Amino acid sequence: MKLNRLFILTAVLLPLSLVAHAENLSAIFTNVAPAAKTAIPRRANIIFIQADSLGYGDLSCYGQAKYQTPNLDKLAAGGIRFTNYYAAATNLNANAALLLGQDASHLKQRADATVSLTAAETTVAQLLKQSGYHTGLIGEWNLGSEGTSGAPWEKGFDEFAGYFNAADAENYYADYIFRHAPRSLLNPTNNQIEDFTGREMIYPNTGGQKGQYVPDLYTKAAINFVVNNQPDASNRYRPFFLLVNYPTPRANTAEANRRGNGLQVPSDAPYSGEAWPQPEKNRAAMIARLDGDIGKLVEQLQKINQFSNTMIFFTSAGIAKAGGGVDPKFFSSNVASNDLRVPMIVNFPGKIPAGRISKLRWSTMDFAPTVLEIGRVKPMVGFTGISILPTLLGQSGTTTNLAPPRLDGSF
């Protein structure tokens, strides 16, 4: 049986606030919420992973020849690789379209580069949670800060570790991470377990130090989340939904470059000896590191026997960008400057036949209706997107594949 444990923060109770810090950052997302009574046994877990500004040709399974991405290539070989998946114009629009199932170009950014979802807007995370899924968000949010109707925990996420806006998220050596962690804080005044919502310090990065690379912390959080929320008898086989928004390999904004937060990576290995410009070495190293992170997550799912019960989506929230000295054309990331296609890989062993390539045109807004059908959740009204589940399962003529699978209805 898996380890059920709470992450207790060392805290001092002050008037009107709780001040806390983590003794062990790898413990992010180690708490397990009470079992949802409405959970349906053996529905699929769902993981959606977004990189940032990963170009169409940035993975070797999409034709990149200067370096290899073996873990993502393996994920693609075991599932389906789409050649006509389109990104949103901005990360804000990508997250909104993903969660609302509709075109989100109408959303307007405020001066602080965020927008708040309204109380009336229902997300796919809310619907999955209401149906019995345990939900988590790691990384950049952009759709509402603390105290607004668009805060992640107001929009269906049981747990959150990340940042509310792009300006904070693009510092990969930030000295804090914002957390919402239900039942994770010990209040010493009454010995009660309480929720923690607030900034958690990353002490190895205080004072300008660079001791903890934040994208690595995201991977630790994702691994802890799937381990501690794996469906089993103790939680009535409650499935989980995890959204991970990695900030890499973004070429950061002019403001970030002004602050000295350009292309940030601990090392340019394994490309240190390449005769490439330094920004390109750094970017390739970021992609290699991201590929390794995906490999670690898949390995953990296999260890806990959840890989075959988990549908994994991998894509990018936007096309490759210039910035930080990077030339998007160096690795042939896009075939044209106005081409909004990005990689999209979907893997679900035993349900999605391996080795398929699809020319289906779809985008972020099609995710919500698709996963609600996977999770057997009644869709909300107002979707612009449509479910692509028939294509995923080989029941559509838009893919090149072997014989389609026979389903046993065990989603």
Q: Domains (ranges, CATH) in the chain? A: 42-190+213-400 (3.40.720.10)
Beta bridge partners of 161: 138, 179
The pLDDT value recorded for residue 58 is 92
Beta bridge partners of 84: 361
The pLDDT value recorded for residue 251 is 61
For residue 328, is the peptide bond before it cis, meaning its omega torsion is within 30 degrees of 0?
no
Q: What is the pLDDT along the chain (411 residues), one digit of tens a residue?
A: 333 333 333 332 222 233 333 444 445 555 444 444 455 557 999 999 999 889 889 999 999 999 999 999 999 999 999 999 998 766 667 788 899 998 866 666 655 556 788 898 899 999 999 999 999 999 999 899 998 999 999 999 999 999 998 888 889 999 999 999 988 777 788 888 888 899 999 999 999 999 999 999 999 999 999 999 999 999 999 999 999 999 988 765 544 454 444 578 999 999 999 999 998 999 999 999 999 999 999 999 999 999 999 999 999 988 777 666 777 778 876 555 567 899 999 999 999 999 999 999 999 999 999 999 999 887 766 788 899 999 999 886 454 433 333 233 333
Full DSSP string of 334-351: -SSTT--B--EEEE-TTT
The pLDDT value recorded for residue 263 is 74
Contact 71/78 with Cβ under 8 angstroms? no
The pLDDT value recorded for residue 33 is 45
Contact 337/56 with Cβ under 8 angstroms? no
- Amino acid identity, residue 69? T
Cα torsion angle, 291, 81, 136, 145, sign? positive
The pLDDT value recorded for residue 113 is 57
First CA to last CA distance, the chain: 23
